């Protein structure tokens, strides 16, 4: 009986260590591995505490690539990204790209929107073109 108990403890410890390593390897590498949440919720948490500069490394795409950090931070600061939302679905498009669907209520209207995330340099980033930037951050974009 002692041997069986010892064996059970060893198996439990080994499995918890393996799952811990799997969780560490996932960290920031897909849209659902951002500090126990998803990328958009993580970015909104940074937005809510006015850490706009910390959001920039998680953004990519044509909307941000031709802007400097100050322009991007100013644009984010003037956006409306404080709304509530809920993730309703995720679809992996390939090993480096995901489509994530969210539902929000904004100005008493239920809206569904999708974001695209891409894996670049080992980090999952929110892909922003003009349309995605306007949709997610609820601000008119002038290019």
For 131, the domain range is 31-137
CATH number for the domain spanning 116: value is: 3.10.450.50
How many domains are contained in the chain? 2
In this structure, the answer to whether residues 133 and 72 fall within a common structural domain is: yes
What does the pLDDT read at residue 86? 94
Measured between its terminal Cα atoms, the distance across the chain in Å is 72
In this structure, the answer to whether residues 36 and 76 fall within a common structural domain is: yes
pLDDT in tens, the chain (143 residues): 554 343 333 433 444 443 444 445 678 888 998 888 999 999 999 999 999 999 999 999 999 998 999 999 999 999 999 899 999 999 999 999 999 999 998 888 899 999 999 999 999 999 999 999 999 998 766 64
Helix axes 69-77, 130-137, angle to 10 degrees: 40
In this structure, the answer to whether residues 49 and 87 fall within a common structural domain is: yes
Tokens of 109: 């209207």
In this structure, the answer to whether residues 81 and 131 fall within a common structural domain is: yes
Does a structural domain hold residue 44?
Answer: yes
In this structure, the answer to whether residues 45 and 20 fall within a common structural domain is: no
């Amino acid at each position: 009986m002692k041997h069986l108990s010892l064996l059970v403890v060893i198996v439990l410890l080994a499995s918890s260590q393996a799952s811990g390593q799997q969780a560490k390897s996932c960290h920031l590498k897909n849209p659902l591995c951002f500090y126990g949440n998803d990328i958009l919720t993580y970015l909104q948490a940074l937005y809510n505490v006015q850490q706009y500069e910390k959001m920039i490394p998680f953004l990519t795409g044509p909307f941000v690539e031709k802007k400097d950090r100050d322009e991007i931070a100013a644009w984010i600061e003037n956006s409306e990204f404080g709304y509530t939302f809920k993730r309703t679905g995720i679809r992996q498009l390939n090993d480096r790209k995901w489509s994530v669907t969210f539902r929000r209520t904004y100005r008493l209207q239920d809206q569904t929107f999708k974001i695209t995330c891409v894996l670049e340099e080992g980090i999952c980033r929110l892909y922003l073109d003009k349309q995605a930037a306007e949709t997610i951050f609820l601000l008119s974009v002038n290019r």
